[in-house]
């Protein structure tokens, strides 16, 4: 039986660097052709190592802003992946896009080349929030892009939203959610604003120019999010992700269920056969290394048995829960016995549910997931 795995492409090109973003991106369209050539060489290199015994059920184009590429350029990458790996005929293929970077014509072309799922980075429907986040679009464009995607044939659309922005009241956040569920979307990713080291936003907070509300308020917004989206037909299947039945993101589930994944492009991270490696975070360095060595690893680490266990538990609790039989099969039952009393306490306090088949966080548990993980591991 072949091992189920996933494929990821990091497309670094962007029109603008937002103040909160810490992903590798560059504000230029230079070197697109050398980049396309390099990524095909990298794909071919890794297919010689990891293609046998694997099947790939998802492909995800992230960035950056992948929709800045022309559909024919994206098609070249998809074809390269299919030529080199055993990609399922019904594989989920996702493309991230930003409002304003695609029109109906381009969306139709993307759908025709095999993009099945669109992920639109909206973040907020309030103009002042978008201005603060330095997004290049406005609310009207965000709404139009979503409807245009549906018109172009996309039946599987995700939108990203951010809560706990400076000055964001519960009423304003609720307005975002109300607008979101009116749109033709099947999936909503709702993230708390995270301060990442090295971002402009983090420096603004350190300098006292911006204030972020405390963790208690963040938790209140988060629980409001869960209640609202569940009431409107979106089931929570991971800490920050909600989907209508049957529309859970297959690619993200590969990460959360601890499957292997191969990633290509500058700064891309891969995980396979108990090893994790990542590429150089520079497009020019990436292209140079591919030309020279057919791969662009900046570093690699072996995953120890203890680290693998911790990561497995962390990812399982963040998503659909720890499957008891699977945990025992891979790691034995020592940990369960040691943590049994604490798990029962968490269950009694409604932080999780626990039976012979699964340990799963409740809505209350999701809100303090990191705190629980710190104590349970």
pLDDT of amino acid 17: 85
What is the DSSP pairing of strand 269-272 with strand 275-279? antiparallel
Q: How many residues belong to the chain?
A: 377
What are the tens digits of pLDDT across the range 99-123?
Answer: 989 999 999 999 999 999 999 999 9
Residue 229 CB coordination number (10 Å) = 20
Structure tokens at 14: 């962007």
Q: Sketch the domain layout of the chain as residue ranges.
A: 3-256, 305-376
pLDDT of amino acid 99: 95
Structure tokens at 301: 């680490």
- The answer to whether the beta carbons of residues 69 and 39 sit under 8 Å apart is no
Buried b (16+ CB within 10 A) or exposed e, 115-136: bbbbbbbbbbbbeebbebbebe
**CATH match of 3-256 with 3.20.20.70:** yes
Percent composition of the chain: helix, strand, coil (DSSP 3-state, to 5): 45, 25, 30
pLDDT of amino acid 30: 82
pLDDT of amino acid 199: 85
pLDDT in 10s for each residue of the chain, 377 residues: 899 999 999 999 998 888 888 888 988 778 999 999 999 999 999 999 999 999 999 999 999 999 999 999 999 999 999 999 999 999 999 999 999 899 999 999 999 999 999 999 999 999 999 999 989 999 999 999 999 999 999 999 999 999 999 989 999 999 999 999 999 999 999 999 988 888 888 888 888 888 888 889 999 999 999 999 999 999 999 999 999 999 999 999 999 999 999 999 999 999 999 999 999 999 999 999 999 999 999 999 999 999 999 999 999 999 999 999 999 999 999 999 999 999 999 999 999 999 889 999 998 999 899 899 998 88
pLDDT of amino acid 215: 87
pLDDT of amino acid 96: 98
Rounded percentage of the chain residues whose pLDDT exceeds 90: 83
Environment class of residue 74 by beta-carbon count within 10 Å: exposed (0-12), middle (13-18) or buried (19+)?
buried
pLDDT of amino acid 255: 94
pLDDT of amino acid 158: 98
Structure tokens at 48: 């010689």
pLDDT of amino acid 291: 97
- The answer to whether the bond into 64 is cis (omega within 30° of 0) is yes
- The answer to whether the beta carbons of residues 182 and 125 sit under 8 Å apart is no
What's the CATH code, domain 305-376? 1.10.10.920
- The answer to whether the beta carbons of residues 314 and 308 sit under 8 Å apart is no
Which H or E run contains 342? helix 334-348
What are the tens digits of pLDDT across the range 287-316?
Answer: 999 999 999 999 999 999 999 999 999 999
């Amino acid at each position: 039986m072949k091992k189920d795995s996933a494929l990821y492409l990091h497309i670094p090109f962007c029109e603008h660097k937002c103040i909160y973003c810490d992903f590798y991106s560059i504000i230029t369209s230079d070197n697109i052709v050398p980049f396309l050539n390099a990524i095909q060489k990298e794909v071919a290199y890794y297919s010689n190592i990891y293609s046998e015994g694997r099947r790939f059920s998802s492909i995800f184009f992230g960035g950056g802003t992948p929709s800045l590429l022309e559909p024919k350029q994206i098609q070249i990458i998809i074809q390269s992946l299919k030529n080199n790996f055993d990609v399922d005929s019904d594989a989920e293929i996702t493309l991230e896009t930003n409002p304003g970077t695609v029109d109906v014509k381009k969306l139709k072309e993307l759908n025709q080349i095999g993009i099945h799922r669109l992920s639109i980075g909206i973040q907020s429907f309030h103009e002042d929030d978008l201005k603060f986040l330095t997004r290049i679009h406005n609310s009207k464009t965000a709404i139009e892009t979503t409807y245009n995607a549906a018109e172009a044939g996309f039946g599987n659309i995700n939108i990203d939203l951010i809560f706990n922005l400076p000055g964001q009241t519960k009423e304003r956040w609720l307005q975002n959610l109300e607008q979101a569920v009116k749109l033709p979307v099947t999936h909503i990713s709702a993230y708390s604003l995270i301060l990442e080291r090295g971002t402009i936003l983090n420096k603004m907070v350190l300098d006292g120019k911006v204030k972020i509300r405390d963790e208690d308020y963040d938790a209140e917004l988060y629980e409001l999010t869960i209640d609202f989206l569940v009431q409107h037909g979106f089931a929570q299947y991971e800490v920050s992700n909600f989907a209508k039945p049957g529309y859970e993101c297959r690619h993200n589930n590969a990460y959360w269920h601890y499957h292997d994944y191969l990633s290509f492009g500058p700064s891309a991270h891969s995980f396979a056969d108990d090893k994790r490696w990542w590429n150089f975070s520079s497009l020019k360095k990436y292209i140079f290394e591919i030309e020279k060595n057919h791969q662009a690893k900046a570093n690699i680490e072996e995953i120890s048995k203890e680290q693998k266990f911790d990561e497995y538990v962390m990812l399982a609790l963040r998503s659909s829960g720890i499957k008891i039989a699977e945990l025992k099969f891979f790691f034995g039952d020592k940990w369960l016995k040691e943590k049994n009393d604490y798990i029962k306490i968490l269950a009694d306090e409604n932080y999780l549910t626990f039976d012979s088949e699964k340990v799963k966080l409740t809505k209350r548990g999701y809100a303090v997931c990191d705190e629980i993980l710190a104590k349970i591991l």
